[in-house]
Structure formats: C-alpha cells, structure tokens
Structure 1
C-alpha cells in the first residue's frame, strides 16, 4: 500500500513540474502577444499537457505495470513539440528537459534513448514541414543540432547519476541489512547469555574499563540479598578473610582488586558478621583485554562453598573419630600377636599369626594416614631435622618392600647409591620413599621391574627417581593424583587396596623439606615418580625440630 502511494505521488510530482513550467511559458506568451492563445496548435499543446497532468493525478499508477507510466512523458514530448512548432522563438524547446529527466531517471537506458530521439525527430520533422517538406533551411541547422546534443547530455547525466545512486542505495541497503542482522544476532546472543548467566548457580559480575558494572546475574543478587545488600550494591560493605573475623581493607577486597585489573584465583572470603550466619564465597576474576591489548574491564565470579567446607569438616571429624576408635584395638591386636609369636608354637599357628600381624600393621598404617589427613586442618605435624643419609633410607626401604615384590616376581634395578647426607627428617623421608616404592609394586605387572636411582644435581639437590613397568595412568587420572582420598577408577574395583592418602601426605612432607614431588606417566608405559629435595644444613640447633602445618 505504501509502495503504491509512493509511485502515484512520484508520477504526479514529475508531471506537475512540467505543468508549472508550461503555465509560466503560456503566461509569458500571452503577455507578449495575447493572440498566441488563439492559435489552435499552441492551445492544443498547452491543454494537452494539462490533460496529462490530470491523468497523472487521477489514474492509480501504483496498481498497473510501470511501463504504462512511460506514456505520460511521451505524450508530454508530443505536446511540447506542438507548442514549439507553433511558436519556435518562444523557447519551448527547453521544456523537453522535463520528460527527458523523467524517462532517463525511471525507465532505464531505453527510456533515456527514447527521450532524446523522439524530440529530435519531432523537431527536425517540424522544421521540414515548416519549410514546405522539401528541405530544411541551412540557417536553422545549428539550432536544430543543439537540441539532441543538449538533451543527450542531460539524459546521459541523469541516467548515470540515477544508476550510481541506485547502486549506492543498494549498497547501503545491503550494509543496513548486514547491520540489522548483526544487531539481531547481538541481541539474541545477549539474551542467550543473560538466560545462561541467570541459570547458573554461581554469581557473576561484569564491568567495563571505567569500573561501571554492566552485568549482575540472578544468583549474585540472591547471594548478597540476605546480608542487606540492595539492588544498587553488588557485594556486602564488609567481607572477611579466611579466619572469618579479620575484615578486608577496602583496597584489598577481591572486587576492588578485580576493578584494578588484577587476577584473582580461588580466594575465599566470608560474607556476614562474625558470630552470625556466615557464608564462604570462593572468588575468582579475570581482566578483559581489547584487540589493542588495553584493559577493557573484567569478570568476577562468586561461588558459595559453605556446604562444601561443612562437608569436608564433617568428613574429617568422622575420619578422626573412627581412626581413634580403631587405633586402640588394633594396637592391642598387634601387641598380643607379637607376644604370641614369642611363644613356642607350631609352624601352622605361627604362619597364621604372622598373617594376622602383617594385616594388623597394614591397618595401623592406614589408620595413621587417615589421622594425618584428618588432622591437617587443626593440628601440626612434628618435623625433626637432623643429618641423615638419603641413600641409606632408600636401601632400607627397598629391603623392606622386596619380600612383597617377590610375591609378584617383581625385581628391583638399583645402581650403586652414593651417600647423600644432609639435614632432613629421616622418619618422614622414609615414609615418602616407602610410599613411592609401595605404589611401584602395587600398580606394577607380574614379572615387572622397578628402576631406582638417586643422584645429586649441580644445584645441591637430591633427586630420587622410581620407575615401574606397570599399567601407567591417563592424563585425567594424573590430574587428581595428589587429591586426598582419590583413587583412579581403573584400580578402585581391583584387588589393589589403598586409602588415596599416600601421595598427598608424601607431597606435603617433601614440600616441608623445600622440595618437589611429581609423577610422569603414560597409559601402558609405566610411571616415574620424581622427588627432589634441597641438600642444605639448618643454621641453628633451634631449627633442628620444627612444627609445620601439612597443607594439601
């Protein structure tokens, strides 16, 4: 409907321009010589143009084919030719410009050509008729030649300008369509992200380079609502450190650090006042960098881990309680078994008691590991540093584990171990070496091999390597090796027993010695455990023993 109205309006306005010019020309002609209007040819030309104007206004041109509209400028050319034929000196030839512009603009190349050729034919034909139909007066030839030349330039200019404008409009329309598509896509993505952020159960805050918050999801609003934080705020005014009582200084608060573009990795803060209901929040943030490498805002994530911390504490309390309850009867079993073994008993009875003793010792070891793991958050682990020989510790550990390895026909390959003496806790290092060798035996294959090497590097660091020819581990299993209570799915349901604590405790012991413990493994190619410990002396006797907290 709108398109039809636009077409009809364009047709009428195009015709109206010629009508106005014709009216002015007729008025001037009447003023100069009133008798001109009495000429039938002049009068017919003027009335014809007015009639065409009436047709332009009355006919619904928007409902018929565009080609039919060309009748109007063609009729205009005919009526202008009548006016010029009657009054050649009046300047009516200039009126040809209006239909030329109209046809060149709206009817393409054929319209432009027609609008030039038709006036030229009519003009030359009119002169031929005026001169008796035999020949044209040579004196008027220059004037007649100018008409098609001028109209040709006008038509060419209008046609090329129209095509260029149409191409620009098409390009602009394409760009507008692309922009609209991009805008719609951006809106859909924003809506999807908003829905996604509102669906997750952790808080998300986004901000731009100037620190203005531009995103707060539903979980974040719900997280801070119980602490009197209104819609205009994003976090409580006061938050506390991990001890739950020490408030952060304003510039040290995680959100303020995130606004400065700092990276925050899993920092725990507490919402709520001490003595009241508090919530533990795990906080992480990352800055956003634009394409020029400049800081452009960031994102900070808040996750409620209160339930997780309570579950861990409840588990540790349960493990500690059960372990304490088990230790007393197990100690009694071990003691009485050893007393029974000292008696004069039959070989069969001795064999059964030895089995009982070994399993009781194993249970005591597991209980000790459980107690160590459960106590790490509340107690300290005593470390006694004194000169010790790591090579001797390794030899004793191999000697102790060899009977167990021989059951599966596993052999040890050990080059000559050179003495490495330095200050360390011999008991704790023996615990680490025992664990590494025990794992190498448990997760090896029958008739497998264990390679043990001990060297001192140029940096005065002792390096112990324990390589087995066992089943190896996947990358996903290696990612959780040092997690407490973790056991890989491949061995969880196997005959290989374990608590999932040995490596975690061993790594903590090595860390307390200033060293590192890592494992390298590939599925089907075995595992290599690498322990590095600095060989250094303690400066003062007062440092010979120290208490340090075991940290996971």
Structure 2
C-alpha cells in the first residue's frame, strides 16, 4: 500500500465503501423484489456488519495503528456476506466474497489468500450442514467452483498488486534521479550565471532563430555606457531589419568572426574601442544551435599600444639620424688609413655594431609604419635567383665568422613580377635568421624552384630550433623565444612578421616548421604574377 498516511487511509475508506455500495445494492434489490423466505434477522445482521465496517473505515486513522489491524474490515465483510447469503441463498451473493478476498490478498499475500478461502469454504460447508442440503452435482458450483474462482481472482489481484508496487518503486527511483538531474542542472545554471556575471566582458547568447536569450551583467553595463551603446544595444523586438551592421547585429544574422576592434564615439566626442568575437554553437548532432558574442572594452589597451608605437617610432627616427652620422665618420676614418692596427680593429667592431643597430632601427620603423599605413609595393620584372645571390653575398662574411656553410646549389633561376627591393628585405630577414640562430660550423641550405604559376623558396638551417608551444607566436611583433632571450643572440622580434607581410602582399605566404634542437625550415610561396593568380 502507499506509504503516505493520508493516501493509505483514503484507500482503505474507498475500498470498504465500494463493498458497502455493493451491499446497499443487494439490500435495495431485496426490498424491491421481496425479502424472500430466508431469515431476515440474519440478513440484517450481515448489513449491520457491513455498515459497521464502513463506519469504522471512515472514523479510524488506520495509518496510526498496526498495519495488519485493517484485516478486521475484510474479515467482517466475509462474515457479513455469509449472513446475507444464508438469508438469501437464491441471490448468489457468494460472488461478493471477491471483494474481501482481493483486499486480503493485497494485504498479506499468499497466507491471506489461503486463510480467507479456507474460511469461506468452512462457512459454505457450515451452511450446507445447517440447512441439511445434500451434496449433489448442482452443489459443486458452490463447494468447488466458487473457492477455485476466488483463488484465481485473489492470485490475479496479488500479482497485479505486486506489479503495481514494482512500477511505483521504479517510478519513485526515476523520479529521484530526475529530481537529482534537475537539481544538478539548476546548480550548474546558477554557477554559470555567477561566473558570467563575475567576468568583466560582455556575453550574449543568441539562439538559432536569431533571438537573444541570455545577457550577462557586464553586457548590460556596456549598454549604459554612452561610448559603447551603439554597438552593444539589444534590439527590442527580435532581429528586425538593421540599417547598420554592428557586430552584435551581424552575429544575430548568423555570422561568425574572430576578434574585431570597432571604434565608437559618444555624443560628447569621447571615443572607445570595442573588441567583439562571435562563435557558433553546435548541438550533439553537429547542427547550428546559435552563437555566443563576447564584447570587451579595449580602449585602454589600444591607446597604450598606439602610444607605444608612437614612442618607438619617434625614438627610432631620432636615433637614426645621429647614428647615420656616426657611421659616416667611422667609414671616413677607416677609409683614410694610417690607423694603428689595434685602433682599426676597434673601429671596425664599432662600425659593425653601429650597422647592426641601424638595421634594428630600420625594422622597428618598418613595423611602426606598417601599423599606421599598409605597405605599398612597386612590382616589376624580378630575377629572384639574383636577389638570393645578392643577399648571400652580403651575409657571407657574417656566416664565415662562425664557419657556417651556405649552400644554394638547389636554387634554380626563375623570374616573376614582384617588388624586388621588398623581396630582398624578405630574403635578407630569412637568411640572416638562419645564420643568427644557427650553431657554429652549422649549415644553411637554400632551394628555389617554380612552375608556370608559383615560385617556392626554401631556407633550411641546422640551428637551435623553436619549441612547439612558442611556434604559434612567431609572427607576433617583438616576440622572441625564451631560449633566445636568455642567450647573447640579439634581435627585435620583427623580422618574420615583416617578411610574412611582404609575402602576403605579393599574394603568397610564409610558413615556418621547426624542431627544437634540430633546426628550422622556412617556406616562402609567391605567385609569378599576382594580377593573374
């Protein structure tokens, strides 16, 4: 039975009242068609027992007593039916024993079924004895078939009850699991909301229909900022038709994009920079399931980078003029001759380091100028092998000092339409890196080949190589690997970035593959004619 006390009491009342209704129907039938010849006292005694059981079922709190005390009710019903059946044998009231037998079977199982059926059989036999009825074939219906029927009905009821209990137990366990899952999902949702409301960047969740269904507190604060309101405002009525494609509106249309910096201006003229990223979300089946838009105010960072670039460019430009003058006087002094050998060696060292400093300033100025305005090419016919040989010739003395061998036997003559001076800058950077980060007595091999449309330049060295985790940052401005920073090798961290930019402006690319401790390979791809590529 149900463990809930109120439900248990209600079930007992309903079960007993159901039998009471059947007894009332019998009484009504008897009153309408006549009491018959049976003992009316016995009949009314049966009714009295039935209604006493009904009254007890209603008044008592059965859940507060011993569980088996409720057996009193079906036992009273059995004797009540026996009394009414004895008074009115022609009505076939023995079928009413199904009610108490079923009830007992649900309460005490097989023991209850056996005891109740034996009791009923004893009452039937007693009735036959009291009436002095002979045991004939027609009496078998009551003596044999009625008990058998009651047994099958009781067993069926018992099995049904057990099945119901098992189902209720299963449903209870499933309900517990579902409640636990819902509680966990609720905790995760609360944790996610707490985390999103803690961060200082705006987060917007857009569903696959383009509707916004989640906004964190940082995004709401951005909407109140006059400088950022235009790019972070949320449409009031869904996606709508947008006149201006702000990053948020583009994301609501289903676009995705990497971090984009958008400059905004408040009515008072104050400007702000907003970095916005939109990424797609996918379901377990790989289907598009909306987007996440992340917005961050990067005004301070962008302005700091601009100030740094301005300072670097200004300092580099101011240093270049006096350094050029220093180099000029050093060259005049060295060319004049008549210097003591020791002084000449010292001046040559100063001249070499001044040239290196001038190259460093040139890289810094090129990077600063590239940040402010794009590099402009002046394409024309270019014999790339000649450019490579000129670069090798200029760098050969430096390589010879460390006994580094430069091999260009695999370089084929080829020509293309390109800016020769920019390609010389690219090749100088790549070959000088192969020498600079090589080991003493190492080697640099240069390959050059082409087909009808493309040119490939390959530079390999046997140097120190680059760690795997540092390779994604090779093209960042001013980046130098940890091993190089801790060594005596000097550099600006700008050469590779400038070289790749030159290659891409020509319609090609520059890629790097490296194994730490083994060496580095740089591959430059260029179209023979960008306008036709």
Over 3 Å counting, the alpha-carbon distance change for 1:382 and 1:83 in structure 2 is closer
Post-superposition offset of 1:315: 0.6
Over 3 Å counting, the alpha-carbon distance change for 1:140 and 1:445 in structure 2 is same
CA contact (8 A) 1:250 1:256 kept: no
CA distance in 1 between partners of 2:143 and 2:530 (Å): 117
Structure 1 residue aligned with 2:495, among 502, 507, 510? 502
Post-superposition offset of 1:341: 0.6
Matching of residue 174 in structure 1 with residue 173 in structure 2: yes
Over 3 Å counting, the alpha-carbon distance change for 1:91 and 1:332 in structure 2 is same
Over 3 Å counting, the alpha-carbon distance change for 1:387 and 1:254 in structure 2 is same
Helix, strand or coil at the partner of 2:518:
coil
CA offset digits 1:437-481 (Å, max 9, x no partner): 11112212222221211112x243221111111221122211011
CA distance in 1 between partners of 2:505 and 2:530 (Å): 14
Structure 2 residue aligned with 1:250, among 229, 240, 243? 243
Helix, strand or coil at the partner of 1:414:
strand
CA distance in 2 between partners of 1:61 and 1:479 (Å): 77
Post-superposition offset of 1:34: 9.0
Helix, strand or coil at the partner of 1:285:
strand
Over 3 Å counting, the alpha-carbon distance change for 1:380 and 1:23 in structure 2 is closer
Give the 5 Å matches for 1:310-459: 310-343=303-336, 344-379=338-373, 381=375, 383-415=377-409, 417-456=411-450, 458-459=451-452
Shifted more, 338-347 versus 14-23: the winner is 14-23
Q: Which residue of 2 aligns with 1:547?
A: none
Post-superposition offset of 1:136: 2.6
Helix, strand or coil at the partner of 1:183:
helix
Matching of residue 277 in structure 1 with residue 270 in structure 2: yes
Post-superposition offset of 1:490: 1.8
Q: Which residue of 1 aligns with 2:101?
A: 100
Q: Which residue of 2 aligns with 1:542?
A: none
Helix, strand or coil at the partner of 1:261:
coil
CA offset digits 1:236-262 (Å, max 9, x no partner): 78xxxxxxxxxx972633333222222
In the superposition, the TM-score normalised over structure 1's length comes to 0.86
Q: Which residue of 1 aligns with 2:238?
A: none
Q: Which residue of 1 aligns with 2:67?
A: 66
Q: Which residue of 2 aligns with 1:266?
A: 259
CA contact (8 A) 1:423 1:538 kept: no
Matched residue count: 524
Helix, strand or coil at the partner of 1:89:
helix
Shifted more, 415-424 versus 347-356: the winner is 415-424
Q: Which residue of 1 aligns with 2:224?
A: 225
Q: Which residue of 2 aligns with 1:126?
A: 127
Matching of residue 300 in structure 1 with residue 301 in structure 2: no
Over 3 Å counting, the alpha-carbon distance change for 1:79 and 1:305 in structure 2 is same
CA contact (8 A) 1:442 1:496 kept: yes
Q: Which residue of 1 aligns with 2:526?
A: 533
- Following superposition, which runs of at least 4 residues in structure 1 exceed 6 angstroms of deviation? none
Shifted more, 367-376 versus 178-187: the winner is 178-187
CA contact (8 A) 1:101 1:155 kept: yes
Shifted more, 435-444 versus 78-87: the winner is 78-87
Post-superposition offset of 1:89: 2.6
CA distance in 2 between partners of 1:468 and 1:227 (Å): 55
CA distance in 2 between partners of 1:382 and 1:86 (Å): 119
Matching of residue 154 in structure 1 with residue 153 in structure 2: yes
CA distance in 2 between partners of 1:275 and 1:197 (Å): 31
CA distance in 1 between partners of 2:424 and 2:122 (Å): 117
Q: Which residue of 2 aligns with 1:550?
A: none
Stretches of structure 1 lacking an aligned partner (at least 5 in a row): 238-247, 540-552
Post-superposition offset of 1:273: 4.1
Post-superposition offset of 1:537: 8.8
In the superposition, the TM-score normalised over structure 2's length comes to 0.88
Helix, strand or coil at the partner of 1:472:
coil
CA contact (8 A) 2:227 2:264 kept: no
Q: Which residue of 1 aligns with 2:8?
A: 7
CA offset digits 1:198-224 (Å, max 9, x no partner): 122211111223332111111111112
CA distance in 1 between partners of 2:96 and 2:375 (Å): 109
CA distance in 1 between partners of 2:374 and 2:65 (Å): 96
Post-superposition offset of 1:74: 2.4
Matching of residue 85 in structure 1 with residue 86 in structure 2: yes
Stretches of structure 2 lacking an aligned partner (at least 5 in a row): 236-240
